Structure 1
Amino acid sequence: MNVLEIRNLRKSFGSGGRRVEVLGGVCLTVGEGEFVSLVGPSGSGKTTLLSLIGGLERPDSGEIMLAGKPASEGAGRAAYMPQQAALLPWRTVRGNIELALRIAGRDRAEAKRLADEGLRRLGLEAYARSYPHVLSGGMQQRVSFLRALLSPQPLMLLDEPFGALDALTRQRMQRWLLSLWEEERRSVLFVTHSIEEALLLSDRVLVLSASPAVVVRELQVPFARPRSAMLGSDPRFGELKESLYESLGSLEEGDMPL
Protein backbone atom coordinates (compact mmCIF):
# COMPACT_ATOMS: atom_id res chain seq x y z
CA MET A 1 0.00 0.00 0.00
CA ASN A 2 1.24 3.48 -0.85
CA VAL A 3 1.03 6.05 1.93
CA LEU A 4 1.84 8.82 -0.55
CA GLU A 5 1.05 9.04 -4.27
CA ILE A 6 1.88 12.11 -6.36
CA ARG A 7 0.74 12.35 -9.97
CA ASN A 8 1.79 15.04 -12.46
CA LEU A 9 2.30 17.71 -9.81
CA ARG A 10 2.97 21.21 -11.12
CA LYS A 11 3.72 24.41 -9.22
CA SER A 12 4.69 27.91 -10.38
CA PHE A 13 5.41 31.14 -8.56
CA GLY A 14 4.94 34.71 -9.78
CA SER A 15 2.72 35.94 -12.57
CA GLY A 16 2.90 37.06 -16.17
CA GLY A 17 6.41 37.33 -17.57
CA ARG A 18 7.85 36.80 -14.11
CA ARG A 19 6.15 33.43 -13.64
CA VAL A 20 8.62 30.65 -12.83
CA GLU A 21 7.64 26.98 -13.02
CA VAL A 22 9.30 25.10 -10.14
CA LEU A 23 7.69 21.66 -10.46
CA GLY A 24 7.02 20.44 -13.98
CA GLY A 25 4.98 17.27 -13.48
CA VAL A 26 6.40 15.30 -10.55
CA CYS A 27 5.27 11.71 -10.08
CA LEU A 28 6.36 9.58 -7.11
CA THR A 29 5.17 7.18 -4.42
CA VAL A 30 6.15 6.28 -0.86
CA GLY A 31 5.05 2.86 0.33
CA GLU A 32 3.97 1.85 3.82
CA GLY A 33 7.05 1.64 6.04
CA GLU A 34 9.32 2.85 3.22
CA PHE A 35 12.15 5.39 3.56
CA VAL A 36 12.52 7.41 0.34
CA SER A 37 15.09 10.18 -0.20
CA LEU A 38 14.93 13.05 -2.68
CA VAL A 39 18.14 14.50 -4.11
CA GLY A 40 18.54 17.11 -6.81
CA PRO A 41 20.28 20.33 -7.82
CA SER A 42 19.88 23.38 -5.60
CA GLY A 43 16.65 25.17 -6.41
CA SER A 44 15.02 22.11 -7.94
CA GLY A 45 11.91 22.44 -5.78
CA LYS A 46 12.50 19.78 -3.11
CA THR A 47 11.33 21.98 -0.24
CA THR A 48 8.43 23.26 -2.35
CA LEU A 49 7.36 19.67 -2.92
CA LEU A 50 7.28 18.97 0.83
CA SER A 51 5.31 22.18 1.40
CA LEU A 52 2.70 21.02 -1.10
CA ILE A 53 2.42 17.58 0.51
CA GLY A 54 2.12 19.15 3.95
CA GLY A 55 -0.62 21.52 2.80
CA LEU A 56 1.44 24.69 3.23
CA GLU A 57 1.16 25.46 -0.51
CA ARG A 58 -1.43 24.68 -3.19
CA PRO A 59 -0.41 23.01 -6.48
CA ASP A 60 -1.31 24.49 -9.85
CA SER A 61 -2.35 21.04 -11.04
CA GLY A 62 -1.80 17.38 -10.33
CA GLU A 63 -2.82 15.11 -7.49
CA ILE A 64 -1.48 14.37 -4.01
CA MET A 65 -2.96 11.34 -2.24
CA LEU A 66 -2.20 10.64 1.42
CA ALA A 67 -3.24 7.22 2.71
CA GLY A 68 -5.63 6.92 -0.22
CA LYS A 69 -7.31 10.30 0.25
CA PRO A 70 -6.69 13.65 -1.48
CA ALA A 71 -4.33 15.80 0.58
CA SER A 72 -6.70 18.72 0.01
CA GLU A 73 -9.28 17.08 2.28
CA GLY A 74 -7.37 18.21 5.35
CA ALA A 75 -4.02 19.74 6.23
CA GLY A 76 -1.80 18.18 8.86
CA ARG A 77 -2.00 14.57 7.67
CA ALA A 78 1.78 14.40 7.34
CA ALA A 79 4.28 15.12 10.12
CA TYR A 80 6.75 17.77 8.98
CA MET A 81 10.29 18.31 10.31
CA PRO A 82 11.94 21.41 8.80
CA GLN A 83 15.62 22.17 8.23
CA GLN A 84 15.80 24.00 11.54
CA ALA A 85 14.36 22.51 14.72
CA ALA A 86 11.75 25.33 14.98
CA LEU A 87 11.10 24.75 18.69
CA LEU A 88 9.09 27.45 20.46
CA PRO A 89 11.63 29.31 22.64
CA TRP A 90 9.07 30.23 25.32
CA ARG A 91 8.03 26.62 25.93
CA THR A 92 10.09 23.96 27.66
CA VAL A 93 11.38 20.93 25.79
CA ARG A 94 8.53 18.84 27.19
CA GLY A 95 6.10 21.68 26.47
CA ASN A 96 7.08 21.76 22.79
CA ILE A 97 6.40 18.05 22.44
CA GLU A 98 3.17 18.18 24.45
CA LEU A 99 1.84 21.05 22.32
CA ALA A 100 2.34 19.07 19.11
CA LEU A 101 0.56 16.08 20.64
CA ARG A 102 -2.33 18.22 21.89
CA ILE A 103 -2.76 19.72 18.42
CA ALA A 104 -2.82 16.16 17.05
CA GLY A 105 -5.76 15.37 19.37
CA ARG A 106 -4.15 13.76 22.42
CA ASP A 107 -5.55 14.68 25.80
CA ARG A 108 -3.34 16.49 28.32
CA ALA A 109 -2.44 13.45 30.43
CA GLU A 110 -1.58 11.27 27.44
CA ALA A 111 0.47 14.04 25.83
CA LYS A 112 2.53 14.41 29.00
CA ARG A 113 3.03 10.65 29.31
CA LEU A 114 4.12 10.26 25.68
CA ALA A 115 6.45 13.25 25.91
CA ASP A 116 8.13 11.91 29.05
CA GLU A 117 8.47 8.41 27.58
CA GLY A 118 9.96 9.81 24.38
CA LEU A 119 12.48 12.00 26.20
CA ARG A 120 13.61 9.04 28.31
CA ARG A 121 14.02 7.02 25.13
CA LEU A 122 16.30 9.72 23.69
CA GLY A 123 18.24 10.15 26.91
CA LEU A 124 16.99 13.73 27.23
CA GLU A 125 14.77 13.39 30.29
CA ALA A 126 17.11 15.68 32.27
CA TYR A 127 16.23 18.50 29.85
CA ALA A 128 12.44 18.12 30.02
CA ARG A 129 12.02 21.36 31.98
CA SER A 130 14.75 23.22 30.09
CA TYR A 131 14.19 25.74 27.31
CA PRO A 132 15.46 25.06 23.78
CA HIS A 133 18.29 27.62 23.89
CA VAL A 134 20.27 25.49 26.37
CA LEU A 135 20.32 22.49 23.99
CA SER A 136 22.97 21.87 21.35
CA GLY A 137 21.95 21.84 17.68
CA GLY A 138 21.95 18.04 17.61
CA MET A 139 19.82 17.82 20.76
CA GLN A 140 17.31 20.31 19.35
CA GLN A 141 17.03 18.22 16.19
CA ARG A 142 16.43 15.10 18.27
CA VAL A 143 13.59 16.85 20.09
CA SER A 144 12.17 18.08 16.77
CA PHE A 145 12.33 14.56 15.34
CA LEU A 146 10.67 13.12 18.45
CA ARG A 147 7.87 15.67 18.07
CA ALA A 148 7.28 14.46 14.51
CA LEU A 149 7.68 10.78 15.42
CA LEU A 150 5.05 10.94 18.17
CA SER A 151 2.45 12.49 15.88
CA PRO A 152 -0.16 10.03 14.56
CA GLN A 153 0.26 10.84 10.86
CA PRO A 154 1.29 7.92 8.62
CA LEU A 155 3.93 9.94 6.72
CA MET A 156 6.94 11.92 7.95
CA LEU A 157 8.40 14.71 5.80
CA LEU A 158 12.03 15.45 6.75
CA ASP A 159 13.52 18.50 5.02
CA GLU A 160 17.31 18.18 5.25
CA PRO A 161 17.16 18.02 9.05
CA PHE A 162 20.92 17.48 9.53
CA GLY A 163 22.19 20.00 7.00
CA ALA A 164 23.16 22.65 9.57
CA LEU A 165 25.08 20.25 11.84
CA ASP A 166 28.83 19.68 11.90
CA ALA A 167 30.11 16.49 10.24
CA LEU A 168 30.59 14.47 13.44
CA THR A 169 27.20 15.41 14.90
CA ARG A 170 25.58 14.70 11.54
CA GLN A 171 27.03 11.16 11.49
CA ARG A 172 25.78 10.55 15.02
CA MET A 173 22.33 11.84 14.12
CA GLN A 174 22.20 9.60 11.06
CA ARG A 175 22.98 6.52 13.17
CA TRP A 176 20.47 7.64 15.78
CA LEU A 177 17.76 8.19 13.16
CA LEU A 178 18.42 4.76 11.65
CA SER A 179 18.11 2.99 14.99
CA LEU A 180 14.91 4.83 15.89
CA TRP A 181 13.38 4.35 12.44
CA GLU A 182 14.11 0.62 12.55
CA GLU A 183 11.87 0.38 15.63
CA GLU A 184 9.00 2.44 14.18
CA ARG A 185 9.23 1.84 10.40
CA ARG A 186 7.22 4.95 9.63
CA SER A 187 6.90 6.04 6.01
CA VAL A 188 9.43 8.80 5.35
CA LEU A 189 10.10 11.24 2.51
CA PHE A 190 13.53 12.70 3.21
CA VAL A 191 15.13 15.66 1.42
CA THR A 192 18.93 15.81 1.45
CA HIS A 193 21.82 17.25 -0.54
CA SER A 194 24.06 14.41 0.64
CA ILE A 195 24.20 11.36 -1.61
CA GLU A 196 26.01 9.39 1.11
CA GLU A 197 23.22 10.19 3.56
CA ALA A 198 20.55 9.16 1.06
CA LEU A 199 22.23 5.81 0.40
CA LEU A 200 22.79 5.13 4.10
CA LEU A 201 19.21 5.84 5.16
CA SER A 202 16.96 4.96 2.25
CA ASP A 203 15.14 2.12 0.58
CA ARG A 204 14.90 4.19 -2.61
CA VAL A 205 16.58 7.37 -3.85
CA LEU A 206 14.75 9.65 -6.30
CA VAL A 207 16.69 12.20 -8.37
CA LEU A 208 14.92 15.43 -9.32
CA SER A 209 15.95 17.44 -12.37
CA ALA A 210 16.58 21.17 -12.28
CA SER A 211 13.38 23.21 -12.30
CA PRO A 212 10.84 22.75 -13.64
CA ALA A 213 11.54 19.55 -11.75
CA VAL A 214 10.54 16.02 -12.65
CA VAL A 215 11.84 12.71 -11.32
CA VAL A 216 14.59 11.64 -13.74
CA ARG A 217 15.98 8.63 -11.90
CA GLU A 218 14.88 6.10 -9.30
CA LEU A 219 17.46 3.96 -7.51
CA GLN A 220 16.54 0.95 -5.38
CA VAL A 221 19.11 0.79 -2.57
CA PRO A 222 20.23 -2.88 -2.35
CA PHE A 223 21.68 -2.98 1.18
CA ALA A 224 19.99 -5.10 3.85
CA ARG A 225 18.67 -3.64 7.09
CA PRO A 226 19.65 -2.91 9.74
CA ARG A 227 22.39 -0.83 8.12
CA SER A 228 25.93 -1.01 9.45
CA ALA A 229 28.02 2.05 10.30
CA MET A 230 30.68 0.47 8.03
CA LEU A 231 28.39 0.49 5.00
CA GLY A 232 30.40 3.28 3.39
CA SER A 233 33.35 0.90 2.94
CA ASP A 234 31.28 -1.53 0.83
CA PRO A 235 32.47 -1.33 -2.82
CA ARG A 236 28.85 -1.32 -4.00
CA PHE A 237 28.20 1.77 -1.86
CA GLY A 238 31.04 3.57 -3.62
CA GLU A 239 29.76 2.52 -7.05
CA LEU A 240 26.22 3.73 -6.33
CA LYS A 241 27.52 6.98 -4.86
CA GLU A 242 29.61 7.64 -7.96
CA SER A 243 26.67 6.81 -10.21
CA LEU A 244 24.39 9.27 -8.40
CA TYR A 245 27.07 11.97 -8.45
CA GLU A 246 27.33 11.50 -12.21
CA SER A 247 23.54 11.84 -12.54
CA LEU A 248 23.50 15.07 -10.55
CA GLY A 249 26.60 16.37 -12.30
CA SER A 250 25.02 15.92 -15.71
CA LEU A 251 21.90 17.80 -14.56
CA GLU A 252 23.91 20.75 -13.28
CA GLU A 253 26.12 20.85 -16.39
CA GLY A 254 23.00 20.89 -18.53
CA ASP A 255 21.90 24.10 -16.77
CA MET A 256 25.17 25.94 -17.37
CA PRO A 257 25.36 28.39 -20.29
CA LEU A 258 27.83 27.48 -23.03
Structure 2
Amino acid sequence: MTTPALELKGIHKEFDSGRKKVLNGLSLSVAESEFVSIIGPSGSGKTTLFQLIGGLEKPTAGEVWIGGKHTTGSRGHISYMPQQASLMPWRSVSANIELALEIAGIERKDAGRQAREWLDRIGLLEYADSYPHVLSGGMQQRVSFLRALLSPQPLMLLDEPFGALDALTRQQMQQWLMAIWEQNRRSVLLVTHSIEEALLLSDRIIVLSSAPAVILEEIPVPFARPRSPQLWREPLFNELKQHIHDLLH
Protein backbone atom coordinates (compact mmCIF):
# COMPACT_ATOMS: atom_id res chain seq x y z
CA MET A 1 0.00 0.00 0.00
CA THR A 2 1.52 3.31 -1.07
CA THR A 3 1.93 6.21 1.33
CA PRO A 4 -0.60 9.01 0.71
CA ALA A 5 0.81 12.28 -0.59
CA LEU A 6 -1.29 14.08 2.04
CA GLU A 7 -3.19 13.07 5.16
CA LEU A 8 -5.13 15.43 7.38
CA LYS A 9 -6.16 13.86 10.68
CA GLY A 10 -8.94 15.45 12.71
CA ILE A 11 -8.07 19.06 11.87
CA HIS A 12 -9.71 21.71 14.05
CA LYS A 13 -8.94 25.39 13.71
CA GLU A 14 -10.21 28.18 15.94
CA PHE A 15 -9.40 31.88 16.13
CA ASP A 16 -10.01 34.57 18.77
CA SER A 17 -9.46 32.19 21.70
CA GLY A 18 -12.03 29.74 20.42
CA ARG A 19 -14.76 32.28 19.65
CA LYS A 20 -14.43 31.75 15.89
CA LYS A 21 -14.43 28.11 14.77
CA VAL A 22 -13.36 27.59 11.15
CA LEU A 23 -12.58 23.88 10.71
CA ASN A 24 -14.36 21.21 12.70
CA GLY A 25 -12.45 17.94 12.67
CA LEU A 26 -11.53 17.52 8.99
CA SER A 27 -9.88 14.27 7.93
CA LEU A 28 -8.97 13.75 4.29
CA SER A 29 -6.23 12.39 2.09
CA VAL A 30 -4.71 12.77 -1.36
CA ALA A 31 -3.18 9.65 -2.87
CA GLU A 32 0.00 9.60 -4.90
CA SER A 33 -0.71 10.93 -8.43
CA GLU A 34 -4.30 11.81 -7.46
CA PHE A 35 -6.05 15.08 -8.39
CA VAL A 36 -8.47 16.12 -5.63
CA SER A 37 -10.62 19.26 -5.53
CA ILE A 38 -12.11 21.01 -2.51
CA ILE A 39 -15.26 23.02 -3.05
CA GLY A 40 -17.30 24.86 -0.47
CA PRO A 41 -19.11 28.11 0.30
CA SER A 42 -17.18 31.35 0.72
CA GLY A 43 -15.80 31.54 4.25
CA SER A 44 -15.80 27.77 4.73
CA GLY A 45 -12.10 27.71 5.63
CA LYS A 46 -10.54 26.57 2.35
CA THR A 47 -7.77 29.18 2.50
CA THR A 48 -7.14 28.41 6.17
CA LEU A 49 -6.85 24.73 5.27
CA PHE A 50 -4.14 25.51 2.70
CA GLN A 51 -2.27 27.61 5.27
CA LEU A 52 -2.34 24.66 7.67
CA ILE A 53 -1.09 22.22 5.03
CA GLY A 54 1.69 24.63 4.05
CA GLY A 55 2.74 25.14 7.66
CA LEU A 56 1.87 28.86 7.76
CA GLU A 57 -0.65 28.17 10.54
CA LYS A 58 -0.92 25.47 13.19
CA PRO A 59 -4.18 23.64 13.83
CA THR A 60 -5.93 23.98 17.18
CA ALA A 61 -6.05 20.18 17.11
CA GLY A 62 -5.18 17.47 14.62
CA GLU A 63 -2.20 16.56 12.47
CA VAL A 64 -0.86 17.14 8.95
CA TRP A 65 1.11 14.36 7.28
CA ILE A 66 2.81 14.82 3.89
CA GLY A 67 4.48 11.89 2.15
CA GLY A 68 4.29 9.83 5.33
CA LYS A 69 6.02 12.49 7.46
CA HIS A 70 4.45 14.44 10.30
CA THR A 71 4.67 18.04 9.04
CA THR A 72 2.21 19.93 11.26
CA GLY A 73 3.36 23.56 11.49
CA SER A 74 6.38 22.86 9.27
CA ARG A 75 7.04 24.69 6.00
CA GLY A 76 8.71 23.70 2.73
CA HIS A 77 6.80 20.49 1.99
CA ILE A 78 4.45 21.68 -0.77
CA SER A 79 4.58 23.57 -4.05
CA TYR A 80 1.95 26.28 -4.27
CA MET A 81 0.16 28.09 -7.08
CA PRO A 82 -1.85 31.11 -5.89
CA GLN A 83 -4.82 32.90 -7.46
CA GLN A 84 -2.49 35.53 -8.94
CA ALA A 85 0.57 34.41 -10.86
CA SER A 86 2.97 36.23 -8.46
CA LEU A 87 5.95 35.92 -10.80
CA MET A 88 9.07 37.87 -9.91
CA PRO A 89 8.82 40.98 -12.13
CA TRP A 90 12.56 41.66 -12.08
CA ARG A 91 13.38 38.19 -13.48
CA SER A 92 12.74 37.12 -17.06
CA VAL A 93 10.17 34.46 -17.79
CA SER A 94 12.95 31.90 -18.22
CA ALA A 95 14.68 33.02 -15.01
CA ASN A 96 11.43 32.54 -13.06
CA ILE A 97 11.37 28.91 -14.22
CA GLU A 98 15.11 28.43 -13.68
CA LEU A 99 14.75 29.41 -10.03
CA ALA A 100 12.35 26.52 -9.38
CA LEU A 101 14.76 24.11 -11.06
CA GLU A 102 17.76 25.41 -9.10
CA ILE A 103 15.82 25.03 -5.84
CA ALA A 104 15.19 21.43 -6.93
CA GLY A 105 18.97 20.95 -7.03
CA ILE A 106 19.63 21.30 -10.75
CA GLU A 107 22.83 23.06 -11.83
CA ARG A 108 22.31 26.59 -13.19
CA LYS A 109 23.43 25.72 -16.74
CA ASP A 110 21.12 22.71 -16.91
CA ALA A 111 18.31 24.74 -15.31
CA GLY A 112 18.56 27.31 -18.11
CA ARG A 113 18.39 24.61 -20.77
CA GLN A 114 15.48 22.81 -19.14
CA ALA A 115 13.57 26.05 -18.58
CA ARG A 116 13.67 26.78 -22.31
CA GLU A 117 12.68 23.20 -23.12
CA TRP A 118 9.64 23.49 -20.84
CA LEU A 119 8.69 26.93 -22.18
CA ASP A 120 8.80 25.42 -25.66
CA ARG A 121 6.50 22.60 -24.52
CA ILE A 122 3.90 25.06 -23.22
CA GLY A 123 4.15 27.33 -26.26
CA LEU A 124 5.94 30.26 -24.61
CA LEU A 125 9.54 29.89 -25.78
CA GLU A 126 9.39 33.19 -27.71
CA TYR A 127 8.82 34.95 -24.36
CA ALA A 128 11.77 33.30 -22.56
CA ASP A 129 13.79 36.52 -22.34
CA SER A 130 10.80 38.81 -21.80
CA TYR A 131 9.58 40.00 -18.42
CA PRO A 132 6.27 38.84 -16.92
CA HIS A 133 4.44 42.15 -17.46
CA VAL A 134 4.32 41.57 -21.23
CA LEU A 135 2.40 38.29 -20.81
CA SER A 136 -1.38 38.00 -20.77
CA GLY A 137 -3.10 36.74 -17.62
CA GLY A 138 -3.42 33.23 -19.06
CA MET A 139 0.24 33.16 -20.10
CA GLN A 140 1.34 34.29 -16.64
CA GLN A 141 -0.72 31.51 -15.06
CA ARG A 142 0.91 28.96 -17.37
CA VAL A 143 4.35 30.09 -16.19
CA SER A 144 3.17 30.09 -12.57
CA PHE A 145 1.84 26.54 -12.89
CA LEU A 146 5.03 25.39 -14.60
CA ARG A 147 7.10 26.87 -11.76
CA ALA A 148 5.00 24.95 -9.23
CA LEU A 149 5.18 21.77 -11.32
CA LEU A 150 8.98 21.89 -11.46
CA SER A 151 9.43 22.54 -7.75
CA PRO A 152 10.85 19.52 -5.91
CA GLN A 153 7.92 18.93 -3.56
CA PRO A 154 5.64 16.09 -4.71
CA LEU A 155 2.40 17.72 -3.48
CA MET A 156 0.94 20.73 -5.34
CA LEU A 157 -1.67 23.06 -3.85
CA LEU A 158 -3.60 25.10 -6.42
CA ASP A 159 -5.59 27.95 -4.86
CA GLU A 160 -8.29 28.97 -7.37
CA PRO A 161 -5.58 29.42 -10.01
CA PHE A 162 -7.96 30.50 -12.78
CA GLY A 163 -10.43 32.52 -10.74
CA ALA A 164 -9.20 35.90 -12.03
CA LEU A 165 -9.34 34.92 -15.72
CA ASP A 166 -12.18 35.59 -18.14
CA ALA A 167 -14.47 32.66 -18.98
CA LEU A 168 -12.90 31.74 -22.33
CA THR A 169 -9.30 31.97 -21.06
CA ARG A 170 -10.29 29.97 -17.98
CA GLN A 171 -11.72 27.22 -20.16
CA GLN A 172 -8.57 27.14 -22.28
CA MET A 173 -6.39 27.00 -19.15
CA GLN A 174 -8.39 24.10 -17.73
CA GLN A 175 -7.80 22.11 -20.91
CA TRP A 176 -4.11 23.06 -20.88
CA LEU A 177 -3.73 22.10 -17.21
CA MET A 178 -5.33 18.71 -17.84
CA ALA A 179 -2.96 18.01 -20.72
CA ILE A 180 0.17 18.97 -18.73
CA TRP A 181 -0.99 17.09 -15.61
CA GLU A 182 -1.62 13.92 -17.66
CA GLN A 183 2.07 13.93 -18.63
CA ASN A 184 3.34 14.25 -15.04
CA ARG A 185 0.60 13.03 -12.66
CA ARG A 186 1.72 15.01 -9.62
CA SER A 187 -0.44 14.82 -6.49
CA VAL A 188 -2.70 17.88 -6.59
CA LEU A 189 -5.12 19.49 -4.15
CA LEU A 190 -7.17 22.21 -5.86
CA VAL A 191 -9.45 24.77 -4.22
CA THR A 192 -12.12 26.08 -6.56
CA HIS A 193 -15.54 27.74 -6.47
CA SER A 194 -16.41 26.23 -9.86
CA ILE A 195 -18.31 22.93 -9.80
CA GLU A 196 -17.66 22.46 -13.53
CA GLU A 197 -13.92 22.97 -13.04
CA ALA A 198 -13.84 20.43 -10.21
CA LEU A 199 -15.70 17.83 -12.29
CA LEU A 200 -13.52 18.44 -15.35
CA LEU A 201 -10.17 18.18 -13.56
CA SER A 202 -10.57 15.91 -10.55
CA ASP A 203 -10.40 12.26 -9.60
CA ARG A 204 -12.32 13.07 -6.43
CA ILE A 205 -14.23 16.09 -5.07
CA ILE A 206 -14.50 16.98 -1.38
CA VAL A 207 -17.52 19.15 -0.58
CA LEU A 208 -17.26 21.30 2.57
CA SER A 209 -20.04 22.84 4.63
CA SER A 210 -20.05 26.46 5.73
CA ALA A 211 -17.88 27.27 8.77
CA PRO A 212 -17.17 25.57 11.07
CA ALA A 213 -16.47 23.32 8.11
CA VAL A 214 -17.07 19.59 8.02
CA ILE A 215 -16.93 17.30 4.99
CA LEU A 216 -20.44 16.93 3.57
CA GLU A 217 -19.48 14.33 0.98
CA GLU A 218 -16.54 12.89 -0.95
CA ILE A 219 -17.52 12.30 -4.56
CA PRO A 220 -15.46 10.06 -6.87
CA VAL A 221 -15.47 11.50 -10.40
CA PRO A 222 -16.36 8.58 -12.71
CA PHE A 223 -15.18 9.96 -16.06
CA ALA A 224 -12.28 8.28 -17.85
CA ARG A 225 -9.06 10.11 -18.61
CA PRO A 226 -8.06 11.86 -20.75
CA ARG A 227 -11.18 13.98 -20.28
CA SER A 228 -13.14 15.20 -23.27
CA PRO A 229 -13.61 18.98 -23.71
CA GLN A 230 -17.28 18.10 -24.38
CA LEU A 231 -17.68 16.35 -21.02
CA TRP A 232 -20.19 18.95 -19.85
CA ARG A 233 -22.67 17.63 -22.43
CA GLU A 234 -22.91 14.21 -20.74
CA PRO A 235 -26.06 13.67 -18.62
CA LEU A 236 -24.04 12.26 -15.70
CA PHE A 237 -21.86 15.38 -15.66
CA ASN A 238 -24.94 17.55 -15.20
CA GLU A 239 -26.44 15.18 -12.62
CA LEU A 240 -23.28 15.42 -10.51
CA LYS A 241 -23.14 19.18 -11.00
CA GLN A 242 -26.70 19.51 -9.70
CA HIS A 243 -25.99 17.16 -6.78
CA ILE A 244 -22.97 19.23 -5.67
CA HIS A 245 -24.95 22.44 -6.14
CA ASP A 246 -27.69 21.06 -3.87
CA LEU A 247 -25.11 20.07 -1.23
CA LEU A 248 -23.67 23.59 -1.22
CA HIS A 249 -27.10 25.20 -0.87
Distance 2:130 2:75 in 1: 31
Distance 1:111 1:139 in 2: 21
1:84 is paired with a residue whose SS is coil
The residue number in structure 2 matching 1:183 is 183
* 1:10 matches 2:36: no
The residue number in structure 1 matching 2:247 is 247
Residues 199 and 205, structure 1, Cα contact 8 Å, conserved in 2: yes
The residue number in structure 1 matching 2:203 is 203
Residues 93 and 130, structure 2, Cα contact 8 Å, conserved in 1: yes
Compare 176-185 and 69-78 and name the one that shifted more: 69-78
What's the offset of the Cα at 1:207?
A: 0.4
The residue number in structure 2 matching 1:119 is 119
Compare 223-232 and 107-116 and name the one that shifted more: 107-116
Q: How does 1:92-111 map to 2 (within 5 A)?
A: 92-111=92-111
> What's the CA shift string for 1:98-120, capped at 9, x where partnerless?
22222333321232222111111
Compare 64-73 and 116-125 and name the one that shifted more: 64-73
The residue number in structure 2 matching 1:49 is 49
Residues 54 and 74, structure 2, Cα contact 8 Å, conserved in 1: no
The residue number in structure 2 matching 1:167 is 167
Distance 2:15 2:94 in 1: 38
Stretches of 4+ aligned residues off by more than 3 angstroms: none
| TM-score, L = length of structure 1 | 0.92
Distance 1:71 1:116 in 2: 34
Distance 1:138 1:51 in 2: 25
Unaligned runs of 5+ in 1: 250-258
* 1:85 matches 2:85: yes
2:153 is paired with a residue whose SS is coil
What's the offset of the Cα at 1:95?
A: 1.3
Residues 31 and 187, structure 2, Cα contact 8 Å, conserved in 1: yes
Distance 1:83 1:246 in 2: 26
Which amino acid is 1:9 matched to?
I
Distance 2:15 2:127 in 1: 42
Compare 89-98 and 231-240 and name the one that shifted more: 89-98
RMSD of aligned alpha carbons: 1.3
The residue number in structure 1 matching 2:155 is 155
What's the offset of the Cα at 1:169?
A: 0.2
Matched-pair identity in %? 64
Distance 1:234 1:174 in 2: 18
Distance 1:55 1:164 in 2: 25
The residue number in structure 2 matching 1:230 is 230
Distance 1:233 1:129 in 2: 41
Residues 82 and 160, structure 1, Cα contact 8 Å, conserved in 2: yes
1:126 is paired with a residue whose SS is helix
What's the offset of the Cα at 1:73?
A: 8.0
Aligned length: 247
1:85 is paired with a residue whose SS is coil
Distance 2:199 2:41 in 1: 17
Unaligned runs of 5+ in 2: none
2:5 is paired with a residue whose SS is strand
